[in-house]
Structure 1
Amino acid sequence: MENKMKNKTAVTLLCASLCSTYSFADDDKVIYLTFDDGPINATSGLIDALDEAQIKATFFINAFHMYGEGDENEQHSQLALAKLLNSGHLLANHSYDHMLHNCTDGERSGAVYCNEVGLWPVKSYQDASTDYDYFELNTQKVLALLPNAESFPNFKMRTMARLPYTNAWRVTKTFKGDGLCATSDNLPPWDPAFSCDPQVSTNSSQVAVKISDKLASEDYKVYGWDFDWGPVNWGVDYPAETMADGIQMVESINQIVNTCPGKTMDPVNSRTQNLDCSDGLAANKVVILTHDFLFEDGPRGQGATINLPKIKSFVEYARAEGYRFDTLDNYAPQWQQNRQYEATNFVSYQDKIYSVLQAHYSQSNWQPSSTPALWLLEK
């Protein structure tokens, strides 16, 4: 690992006004395309494909790839992360090592060991305090290599997170939920003998609930997903080659939009069993989960050759169906002056979400943070 770091190319970050604010109606249909488990070498080509499609995505990253600890093709992951920031895509927190410090036999641990034994979602969360610290460690490790990353407007590692393995949400005081069968205490969730009662849940999943609560108390927004754009069958020789194409994706999204899909998602470990979508914030929105490693040519198949072109076709079909694409910092639209706000509206302002208390026409000095008679801070 030391030699790997010595040979890394110096990276320049070009801080600029990268994240534009768009004006849009509250009834727009919006897709949030999110990528987990990078940055790896494949991330660079992925960014090129997203830029060609003229969309911005949200990346939930594990910085251990930048230190050569992720057991992936990651020699150029630092360059890929710099490219991600410079391109204006959103950078969010997925913990330093995807909780693989808990994948251990008492002597060995980490990605290499866990990939050998295949026990990723078993006892993934063990101690809420210790495991929580891996989110802050993730941020510190990025800043150690890219010290000015935090100056970017699209750097959200201290305000936005996703739990590894776990479809958990902490967006407003009511729009929240947990993956109560996300990880197990003994058998992998795909084992035929695995069973889980959400009323009892697993110890690992219950520890994850505590971490979600802690993140929310520290002003993070925790985002899960509504749809998993992954292989149709992970069990085949080249699973990356079985991912749905653009028109199939749009057809699937049309079926789940406005259904609060986390409650019924399969398999059971992907569900958010107690998700509450009643506050209306999730209306007309679909969060898609996928992974950087599915877009590379490698052991999982021709992900770059076959799947990168699917991004452009997906965007084209989705736009034809009336969807637009955005990043998760705009899950509630950014507050704007000189517009009418109604009692059902939500806005984002300075990385916080507010709901309207009183219908009004906004003015330049009526920002949500300074007008508590008009806006309620959602915690």
Structure 2
Amino acid sequence: MNVKKQLLSLKAYDPGKSIDNVKKELGLTKIVNLASNENPYGCSSKVSEAIQSIAHYAHYPDSRAEDLRRTLAGRLNVKESQLLFSSGLDEMIQMISRCLLTAETNVVMADFTFPQFRHHAVIENTEIKAVPLKEGRHDLEHMQQVVDENTSLVWICNPNNPTGTYSSERELRSFLEKVPNETLVVLDEAYYEYVTAEDFPDAMKLMREYENLLVLRTFSKGYGLAAFRIGYAIGQEKLLEKLDIGRLPFNTSKFAQIAAQAAIDDPSFVEECVVKNKEALQQFYLFFNKYRIPYYPSQGNFVYIEPEMDNDLVFHFLLQKGYIVRPIKNGIRITIGKKEENAEIIALMKEILVDGAAIKRTS
């Protein structure tokens, strides 16, 4: 059976080891998953209450998510027609790539960012212009320089996954001023709710000034609704009308729509999670600074380190202790957990990164 030849260079998405699999493999009773950037505090209690109201399962969901659309548009102060919903942001990335990219176009992105940007560009057989990060951050000046008349799309992950770094409003505005109007700039703000930096871009304001800016957000992270798979895009009406053509019918479930609506109605839950996340990041920073472990200050619910030790060695050591993290390229991404989980994994990292426990046992 023949498939597109570009698929031969790709692999299906690997979500990493599940908690159940690790329990079976290692015979452990306690497993803490700090690899997927999930909210360790779950979601608002209002979500459980809301989805229990669903009595009929035989009917298709509202394909346009009208109730959620109305509520969210009011919160964001945009028109309802400026919203497009998707099954998590993964589907939105697929839709955008499918609708904009061809073999005659190119796409500009960072070389170390969310891998699904590249994945779908390869599937669409488009040229990829990957620009190296500069000190762990998007090098927007360099990215702007490689944009040409064939650049259909620019991806900016802000905060960037996996480094947690961000581009400021000044930097992003300067970039948008120089990019042609025909090139779509997509700002992936999956971790928007966790951001505390004062100079982080006001994407809603910028979107009103630059018609070629599209903003992506999700309910998976700060709102803790990853299991429901629902995200959304905010942009110009004409663009969303075209992207909507590439959307699957009934792509968001009734459960997801009702869960998201309930989550929006409990902003205090997210606010509490953000405060705890900021405090927890300080736990890690104190440890990293004390023992001079290279890391990037993060605006997300995760932190990326580049220890002077083999990634696999660190990963398997932590795994044997019941902690799942995400080895990526030259470093390791660690999701911020609850206070006691953070303390435990910090102690384990000291054991291997500082005391060299695993090396001593294997030597």
TM-score if structure 2 supplies the norm length?
0.25
Greater length-normalized contact order (CA 8 Å, ≥ 6 residues apart):
2
Greater helix proportion: 2
